[in-house]
A and B are shown apart, each in its own frame.
Chain A
Amino acid sequence: MMIGAIIGKELTEIRRDGRALGLLGIVGLLLVLGLTTGLATENAREREVLQAQADDSAVFLEQGEKNPHSAAHFSRMAHKPVAPLASFDPGVSSYMGQVIWLEAHSRNPAMFRAAEDAPELSRLENFSIAGVLTLILPLLVVLMGYGSIAGERERGTLRQLVGSGASPIHLLLGKFIVIAGVAFAVLAAAVAISTSFSLLSLSESGFSGGDLVLRGLSLLFVYGLYIVCLTAVTLLVSMLVAEARTALLLLLGIWVVTVVGLPRLSASIAEQVYPSPDSATFWEDTRASLQANRPPSESEDYVAVEREVIERALGRELRVDELDDLEINRGALRLEVSEVIDQEAFNAAYAELFANYEKQKNLRRMLSVLSPTIALQHLSRAYSGTDIGAHEHFSLEAERQRNDIVRAMNEDMMLNGAGESFGYLSPPEFWETVPEFDYRPPSVAAAWSESARDLTILLFWGLAAIAAMFWFGANRTRV
């Protein structure tokens, strides 16, 4: 009843105040801009990916008679599909390679980062809906809320309201609902529109509509939590500070530090505490561990792998003495054995690389105690499917694919090319039997569990901010 009256009055004030409407209009405009640029970029990228995949497939299938190992050097490209909600939050997609060359002998890193050919202006211009929301939602909330308590105090209405029996808690709650509600309406519109656009353009990319909707809802939830934090902090400052203009000044100062400054600072600190290996060192180390990992060719370990490789190719167990007498292409056997042996070292090297990213992320998580924006960035990218976790999944699947297709080509040569050494040529129809890369991106559930800690931090922020707001509201409201 009382809350209803407060909400009604606040909304009437917003409706009759041209500035608030103007502000909402600007935010809406920015979101439309973010959406159109996001959709344009992502759609173009998606078309490129599909085209490149088709080209790659055609070239591979039509290579005619060829030595399979030569083909394994040429091999295939694994193209990373455009993430389901990249138009909402492109995340790291521009900064991570989009293509992995599934070459024999080597687990390659992804290549071609769109960022390299982007014109450099300041890095803040990475305009997306997520960017607009993280940067500008706080401003919207601050501008709607800085004077909500302090302004009433200045005008004297607060004193009168409290004098006539209104409870400060109710007043806070009503204002909270209105400010958070308006911000949430903006958010919901942004998420709904970009999710539905993504649903409409859902193509062969392997994402399901249901998953997309769940992702949209998850985004709504975490950005909603962000709004809760922002609104509570804004009202808290408005309540504790004597004048509205001081409240605004202080809130904008907090915005500059926590939204504009700290996310960047935390990244730079994390990079210095857990430096990423540079590629030269990475490859140096990987080459060294590959060498160390290779058993001598007559050793027990080596023979065991040899046996395993042959058994897998033949689909049956080998008799003890059969190994030496088999009619197989020994060159191909050596190739496949070295693939199997090297996989372990490659995977260990990449696992370490991704583990280091995770360490950096953990450090940022710790710093998100100072700024919920950092936790939100993690969550937003995870739920949009554009974070490093999603990339690691792709990288692992591509490696699995590489192992499969290289093995298929090695086995063809091994079983059908006995005695021909490297002169063996696979028939033109062989290439169709090499499996296509059918990448299934992880579902949102993977993102949920991967970013559970970020969610906990953001939840904690929301609860703490609300608790502080109500506690101070109940105990420290000055009239």
Chain B
Amino acid sequence: MSELLHARDLTKAFRSNTALNGLNLSVNEKEIVCLLGANGAGKTTTINLFLGFLEPTSGAAIVDGTEVTADLKRARSKLGYVPEQVSLYPALTGLENLDYFVRLGGGHRDESHLRGLLDRVGLDQGAADQKVGAYSKGMRQKIGLAIALAKGARALLLDEPLSGLDPSAANEFCRLLRQLADNGAAVLMATHDLFRARELADRIGIMKSGTLVEELSPESLDQAALEQVYLNHMHDDETVDETAEEA
């Protein structure tokens, strides 16, 4: 069982505020780990550190044995990333967007392969040739996932991918993730949807004020335990939102 994502004493401080404090976490292949926490708990910071958008204050983010700060390019080549808002070029079609992102990631896939991918993530064949300006959020998330798949990413980082999706779209998306994990991917997903996390994850990390306060297995979470987690950890922190610090 290889360890694809590994955070070792990962710490990120913005001036006075420590957004992430000594995180130790690993995600293995075929495993889905959900990070749960309120806004400002450090989930997005963790993902940004893995992607190299931020540099750690101390500690290391390691992707499939490569430390991100040491070889950003190599680390990124193994990562797939689906943000909360999958941003696409509205003037291009779904297929063109996919093709563009794949090429810019340094890869190349022929059209039939790309169409196969869109099929695999459940996008209608008709939609692939429409400009994405008219896409629903669920369709955009699918393109986002297809982009990650196309580059053959072994580790997927997802930042609140489910927020704003209607229940059936969210269901379908989760099913897809499970499939990918079963095929060997390591998935790290930030969310604040307790119920989805319990359904989907192999492990759940609870974060609060930049610290991983608890690691749970979904089986251990019955209704009462869920309620407890919610009351203890899921209300908004008083800390500054790290995205605000970035900007």
Contact = CB atoms under 8 A, between A and B. Distances in A.
Contacts of B76: 163-165
Interface string B111-153: 0000000000000000000010000000000001001100100
A6 B247 contact: no
B80 interface: yes
Given A1-B103, A16-B91, A160 B96 contact: no
A156 B91 contact: no
B105 interface: yes
B230 interface: no
A168 B247 CA distance: 19
Interface string A1-26: 11011101100110011000000000
A242 B80 CA distance: 25
A9 B99 CA distance: 10
B173 interface: no
B53 A162 contact: yes
Nearest to A157: B87
A479 B52 CA distance: 11
Given A9-B96, A164-B147, A164-B151, A242 B103 contact: no
A165 B72 CA distance: 9
A209 B77 CA distance: 56
Contact of A165 (B83, B99, B106): B106
B231 interface: no
Contact of A160 (B92, B101, B247): B101
B101 A161 contact: yes
B73 interface: yes
B62 to A, nearest CB: 17
Interface residues of B, number: 31
B79 interface: yes
A170 interface: yes
Main secondary structure of the interface of B (DSSP, over half): mixed
A156 B104 contact: no
Contacts of A159: 53, 83, 87
B7 interface: no
Contact of B80 (A9, A164, A166): A164
B108 interface: yes
Contacts of A17: 91
B211 to A, nearest CB: 25
Interface in B63-78: 73, 76-77
A309 to B, nearest CB: 80
A155 interface: yes
B104 A166 contact: yes
B83 A156 contact: yes
A171 interface: yes
B169 interface: no
B89 A13 contact: yes
B86 interface: yes
Contact of B92 (A13, A171, A479): A13
B81 A160 contact: yes
Contacts of A12: 91-92, 96
B36 interface: no
A264 to B, nearest CB: 39
Among B89, B104, B247, the one with the most A-chain Cβ atoms within 10 Å of its Cβ is B104
A161 B86 CA distance: 11
Contact of B53 (A8, A165, A479): A479
In the A-B complex, the 3 residue pairs with the closest CB atoms = A156-B87, A5-B103, A166-B104
27 contacts: A2-B104, A4-B103, A5-B99, A9-B100, A12-B92, A155-B87, A156-B87, A159-B53, A159-B83, A160-B86, A160-B144, A161-B101, A161-B104, A163-B51, A163-B83, A164-B76, A164-B79, A164-B80, A164-B105, A164-B147, A165-B73, A165-B76, A165-B104, A165-B105, A167-B73, A170-B104, A479-B53
Given A5-B100, A13-B89, A164-B79, 12 more contacts: A8-B100, A9-B96, A12-B92, A16-B91, A157-B88, A160-B81, A160-B101, A160-B144, A160-B147, A164-B105, A165-B79, A165-B105
